[in-house]
Amino acid sequence: MTKRFALGVFDDEDILLHAIDNIRSAGVKIYDVFSPYPVHGIDDALGIERSRLPIAAFFYGLCGLSFALWLQIYTLGFDWPMIIGGKPQIGLPAFIPVSFELTVFFTCHGMVITFYTITGLYPRFKTPVMDVRSTDDKFVMAIELDETSSAMPKLTQLLRENGASEVNQKEMTKK
């Protein structure tokens, strides 16, 4: 599916932050903002909700911990019991390092995979980029245009008034 975007290009992060406030209060929905580096306070300005990734991380950790405990208790306690150093076959203190490592392993891999899937930033051959200069020294604000709309001139004016150095239009193929 092809979507059309109005792209406002900004040179300065302070101007950008003010522009975000003004444009949002003018009732325009901002699709996303692309910047070469993390800008302080931009999440709040764009009204982005706090990520629920930490909650997912907790459950990945819980999975890792359960898997690690199951692995050790089942293999060392039931499937192939061995006496090591005269310790009980299910000697929990000895299981803690492995449980810790697997908890961390599951948490970090789960988080990375979830993050890539949700944001669409996973590695691939052709990466859709709104404007390549947003990886260098420009801030790019994308506003989605609906198909029938003839809002482009009005948007151009709004972006210009709020300090955009240029305004472009771009079609992107998105799922």
Partner 1 sequence: MATLTQQESATAERLVVTDGARKIFLTIIIAGVVLLVAGVLAAIFHWGAASEATGTVAHQAGSPLWLKRIIVSLWHSNLFILGISAVGTVFVAINYVAYAGWSVIVKRIAEAFSVWLIPGAIIMFVVFLLGRHDIFDWTREGVMTKGSATYDRIIAGKSGFLSTPFYLIRMVSYLVIWWAFSWKLRKLSLEEDLNGGTQYFHTSVTTAALFLVLYAVTSSMSAWDWIMSVDVHWFSTMFGWYVFASWWVSGIAGITLTAIFLKQNGYLRFLNANHLHDLGKLMFGFSIFWTYVWFSQFMLIWYANLPEEAVYFNQRLGGFNGQYTAIFFFNIVINFFFPFLALMTRDAKRQMIVLKIACIAILVGHWSDFYLMLMPGTMRGENGFLIEIGVAAIFLGSFLLLMTRRLSEASLIPMNHPFVEESIHHTT
Q: Which residues bind partner 1 (CB under 8 A)?
A: 40-41, 50, 54, 58, 85-87, 93-94, 96-97
Looking at beta carbons only, is 28 or 63 nearer to partner 1? Answer: 63
103 within 8 A of 68, measured Cβ to Cβ:
yes
Token pair, residue 39, equals 């800008």
**Rounded Cα distance, 82 and 62, in Å:** 27
Token pair, residue 54, equals 């930490």
Contacts of 13 (CB under 8 A, 6+ apart): 35, 39, 139
- The minimum distance between CB 136 and partner 1, in angstroms, equals 26
Looking at beta carbons only, is 43 or 161 nearer to partner 1? Answer: 43
- The minimum distance between CB 80 and partner 1, in angstroms, equals 20
Looking at beta carbons only, is 1 or 82 nearer to partner 1? Answer: 82
- The minimum distance between CB 88 and partner 1, in angstroms, equals 11
- The minimum distance between CB 22 and partner 1, in angstroms, equals 22
Using alpha carbons, select from 153, 170, 167 the residue that is nearest to residue 9.
Answer: 167
